[in-house]
Amino acid sequence: MILPLVSEREEMMQNPALHYHQLSSYERSKMDSHALDWENEPSVYKEYPGGEVFPIPLEVKMPPVSVFELFQPQLREENPPPLSFDLLGQIMLLAEMLTGRARHANGEIWFRSVASAGALYPCELYVACPGIAGLSAGLYHYRVKKPALVQIRTGNLLPELFEASAPDESRLVFLVSAIFFRSSWKYRDRAYRYHLLDSGHLLENLLLALRAFSFAAQVESNFDDQRVNDVLAVDSRREACLALVRVPFTPPAATETAVPLSPADGLSRRSQVAAREKFYETIQQIHQATSSSLLSGRKKVPVDDFWSRYRPVAGQSDKEIAPPVTVNEVCSYPDVLLHRRSRRNFVSDEPLSTSSFHVVISLVAEAVASPSFASLGLTCGFLVGSVAGTEPGFYALKTADQSLTLVAAGNFLSHMAHACLDQRWLGKAAVHILLFTDLTALENAVGARGYRDVMLAAGRLGQRLYLGAAALELGCCAVGAFYDREAVEVLELPESTNLLYLLAVGPVKK
Ligand SMILES: Cc1cc2nc3c(=O)[nH]c(=O)nc-3n(C[C@H](O)[C@H](O)[C@H](O)COP(=O)(O)O)c2cc1C
């Protein structure tokens, strides 16, 4: 029988996310060198000259708290304090701040409390504020260097952002965008993956900051793209909003009278970050394809079905996941934000302790099972190399019965390091956490926009792992660079599996 060939165009129409993910895959035999054009390096700081500047003091007034407590919304979200500029400034600072500087051959780089692929920092953070003590209603851009809120539009934004917002609604709305060229300058077509993963890292930091002050927040990625980008007044070929966070709050007694939104004259020019920006058609296409709403009556993407294809290794019993008894936390929140860095100097002769492994598993299991992640089909596996009392191998995290099952025995870490563009240091980590999904199933269940959601979720989980590792004084490093097919083949995963992200964790040289 001759099967009809599905043309590339047809595949793109039917499964745009899968198509993009395949198109942006790395293949060992097809890697070409791409010299960076340093003359045209994108700026990592967006500026709004002329906007009124509200400087944010470099001070956070909160008692230290365990970051593992912050990961659990039910423990924190009640009775937030009255909202003011002072408080909002602290939240912005906790969401993203500069943490350290390094020089390199072509200049200098400031690291931040969020990880970012290639330290290219494509994301921007805005807040639409309905008028609070110390800040009038308007749209503000968060300036991360010399922290400040810069007012870019005045007026009431809620009715502009959401068609169906109630007139008496009081909400802060945070908006996370990505400037495409910042990452595509280096990563070309693959950059859209990093726009989403990086946005997830920032989103998670923002949610933790809100929770630290007891605010409940709702993440929304299924918004009207054009409407929101118009309010942000960005040049949507260059920059686009990828996630919103709504935060309800009790308004001050005397609310201001509604002011109409000021015009957006000239603001879109601010989305340009280099003299000569290249537009990657692949990125424009996937962004466009994922801009249609999630399918209504969305179905849940089955996760545990995935593992039914594997037989547990004989003679091994499942590990039940329970909240860890001891957490040897060395550093608490917010200090942990300053200590979070990518650490790759893993030491292979020091196993990860049983208790730390337990904490890492719980952190991941809790997140993956939470309602906002569970519907996305985000699947997680652990590659164990050197963990005290745990046999090396590939372990399946089964969310339905909260267990960890050994599905393949052996130490696969150096094979995985080879599949990750030969990043050898990965072989010395104690454990790799792999996040994958079946993009065909995801798109069939929720539509192409699900790609944004699942990548944002992977980024959020990545940021949690970084912070959790820093709190335990462990090393952690994210990996978005892998030969996609090889990485899946190392573990003999079904061909329909798409690896989204990998994080390595373990003891590092002190
Ligand atoms: C989406 C994403 C992908 C990344 N991929 C890699 C990678 O493949 N290899 C690597 O060594 N670091 C990787 N990193 C880590 C970044 O290089 C690192 O976050 C950045 O240089 C900033 O440094 P810092 O994390 O120490 O602040 C990645 C980070 C992110 C967020």
Task: Report pLDDT digits (tens) over 136-192.
Answer: 999 999 999 999 999 999 998 888 888 765 555 678 999 999 999 999 999 999 999
Distance 332 CA to ligand 1 centre (A): 23
Distance 118 CA to ligand 1 centre (A): 6
Token pair recorded at residue 396: 């399946």
Main-chain dihedrals φ then ψ at residue 29, nearest 5 degrees: -80, -10
Split at pLDDT 50, 70, 90, the class of 343 is very high
Helix/strand/coil percentages in the chain, nearest 5: 35, 20, 45
Which of 256, 242, 247 is closest to 81 using CA atoms?
A: 247
The whole-number average pLDDT for the span 226-248 is 96
Mutate to test the pocket of ligand 1, among 193, 420, 477 (most ligand atoms within 8 A of CB): 477
Which of 102, 118, 233 is closest to 185 using CA atoms?
A: 118
Sheet strands (E) in 195-276: 218-220, 239-248
Split at pLDDT 50, 70, 90, the class of 423 is very high
Looking at the predicted structure, is the pLDDT value of residue 256 above 60?
Answer: no
pLDDT in tens, 4-46: 455 666 666 789 999 999 999 999 999 988 999 999 999 999 9
By the 8 A CB rule, do 426 and 510 touch?
A: no
Average pLDDT, the chain: 91
Q: In which region does residue 138 sit, left (phi positive, over 0), alpha (psi from -120 to 50) or beta (all else)? A: left
pLDDT in tens, 126-146: 999 988 999 999 999 999 999
- CB-ligand 1 contact for 423 (6 Å cutoff): yes
The pLDDT value given to residue 1 = 47
Q: What size, in residues, is the chain?
A: 510
- Ligand 1 atom 16, closest CA: 117
By the 8 A CB rule, do 431 and 387 touch?
A: yes
pLDDT in tens, 197-225: 999 999 999 999 999 999 999 998 889 99
Distance 142 CA to ligand 1 centre (A): 23
Place of tokens 């990093």: 194
Instruction: Between 314 and 359, name the one with better pLDDT.
Output: 359
All domains in the chain, ordered by first residue? 41-289 (3.40.109.10), 304-506 (3.40.109.10)
The pLDDT value given to residue 166 = 55
- CB-ligand 1 contact for 405 (6 Å cutoff): no
- Ligand 1 atom 20, closest CA: 119
- CB-ligand 1 contact for 48 (6 Å cutoff): no
ipTM of model over 0.95 = yes
